Amino acid sequence: MASTATLRKPASGFRISRKMLPYVLSLPALLVCIGILIPFFTAVIYSFQRYRLSQPWARQFNWGENYLNFVTDPAFWNTLKVSLLYAGITVTLELLLGLGIALLLQRRSTINNFISIMLLLPLMIAPALAALMWKLMTNPSFGILSYLASLVGLHDFRWASSPDTALLTVVLVDIWVYTPFIMILLLAGLRSLPTQPFEAAALDGVPRSFVFFRITLPMLTPYILTATLFRLLDSIQQFDIIYAMTQGGPGNTLTVFQVEAYLNFFQSTNVGRSAALLIILWAITYTLSNVFIKNWLRLRERARGEA
């Protein structure tokens, strides 16, 4: 195939050898981002140091001590647990909900298109401000949601302020903000699926559930993987919503990685611990992404093989 492309001379422009072309296309993007690797490695070094800004004289390498301390620190294990739980719950619910909404809006019509754009609105509000508004709406005195809840008999529902419902409340806000992200990617995916398999299935009278699970879902899987991957990366790094709603409380209910690292860095100015926490977070996201990308590539290969 490669040889057929050079049958005739291209009409214009200077030529770049076929072998070089992909590098020429991808390197600028890489070069622009590579600068960020230097601060990243600096931060890795910090994580191996005893480094408190308030005790500059005591700054020195303590090698793995920051990490070793985590092993015996119950606060760290709580952070790990809460972060994974939060990411797991939000991404699962958002994926199901986003897929459901995308299916509801799949048909091309003016009203569906309009709704799909309007549903993006929550995503367009900065999460910190969205959380502030949710905090007001769930306030027991002035909050419309608390008022509505009291109308249906939930007089003492405490939203983000009770350890029993805090996770539920921030998850609710997260779902409100980020489900549209998954919805729009899956909707675009659904609408770009080829029509022939569906037409054929309809002609053969194949049950709709079979069509969904055997045709739609497999064909949509690459899109689901990308959307989930990006959502997962953001969700496990969630900060804005949780910090604005509860600052990690009540107690230690919501002290996820970023909240802990933020407090360690900006308030305690314990740079070493903060960096170590974030490196662990980085390692988790790295591993998760690796799994996702491997599966994504395999699916792609298979799809190509079948074609």
Nearer to other proteins, 9 or 153 (CB): 9
| Sole binder of other proteins in the list 80, 93, 282, 295 (CB under 8 A) | 282
Residues 243-272 close enough to bind other proteins by CB under 8 A: 245-252, 257-258, 261-263, 265-271
- Whether residue 58 contacts residue 239, with contact meaning beta carbons closer than 8 Å, is answered with no
Question: Does residue 203 bind other proteins (CB under 8 A)?
Answer: no
Q: What does the block give as tokens for 204?
A: 């053969």
Whole-angstrom distance, CA of residue 140 vs CA of residue 238: 26
| Sole binder of other proteins in the list 124, 152, 153, 204 (CB under 8 A) | 124
Strands 49-50 and 60-61: antiparallel
| Sole binder of other proteins in the list 17, 71, 121, 209 (CB under 8 A) | 121
Nearer to other proteins, 88 or 117 (CB): 117
Question: Does residue 214 bind other proteins (CB under 8 A)?
Answer: no
Q: What does the block give as tokens for 247?
A: 């600052």
DSSP of 162-193, one letter per residue? STTTHHHHHHHHHHHHHHHHHHHHHHHHHHTS
Residues 80-99 close enough to bind other proteins by CB under 8 A: none
Backbone φ, ψ for residue 270 (5° rounding): -95, 85
Chain centre to alpha carbon of residue 7: 46
Question: Does residue 171 bind other proteins (CB under 8 A)?
Answer: no
Question: Does residue 23 bind other proteins (CB under 8 A)?
Answer: yes
Question: Does residue 125 bind other proteins (CB under 8 A)?
Answer: yes
Question: Does residue 3 bind other proteins (CB under 8 A)?
Answer: no
Whole-angstrom distance, CA of residue 102 vs CA of residue 113: 11
Shortest separation between residue 292's beta carbon and other proteins, angstroms: 10
Shortest separation between residue 103's beta carbon and other proteins, angstroms: 9
- Whether residue 245 contacts residue 134, with contact meaning beta carbons closer than 8 Å, is answered with yes
Nearer to other proteins, 88 or 191 (CB): 191
CA dihedral 34, 39, 43, 46 (to 10 degrees): 140
Shortest separation between residue 74's beta carbon and other proteins, angstroms: 9
Question: Does residue 11 bind other proteins (CB under 8 A)?
Answer: yes
- Whether residue 274 contacts residue 295, with contact meaning beta carbons closer than 8 Å, is answered with no
Q: What is the 3-state secondary structure (H, E, C) of 203-235?
A: HHCCCHHHHHHHHHHHHHHHHHHHHHHHHHHHH
CA dihedral 44, 49, 53, 56 (to 10 degrees): -140
Q: Is 282 helix (H, G, I), strand (E, B) or coil?
A: helix
| Sole binder of other proteins in the list 91, 95, 256, 279 (CB under 8 A) | 279
Nearer to other proteins, 85 or 230 (CB): 230
Question: Does residue 224 bind other proteins (CB under 8 A)?
Answer: no
| Sole binder of other proteins in the list 80, 84, 89, 119 (CB under 8 A) | 119
Question: Does residue 228 bind other proteins (CB under 8 A)?
Answer: no
Residues 39-78 close enough to bind other proteins by CB under 8 A: 39-40, 42-43, 46, 52-56, 58, 69
| Sole binder of other proteins in the list 85, 89, 93, 137 (CB under 8 A) | 137
Shortest separation between residue 123's beta carbon and other proteins, angstroms: 6
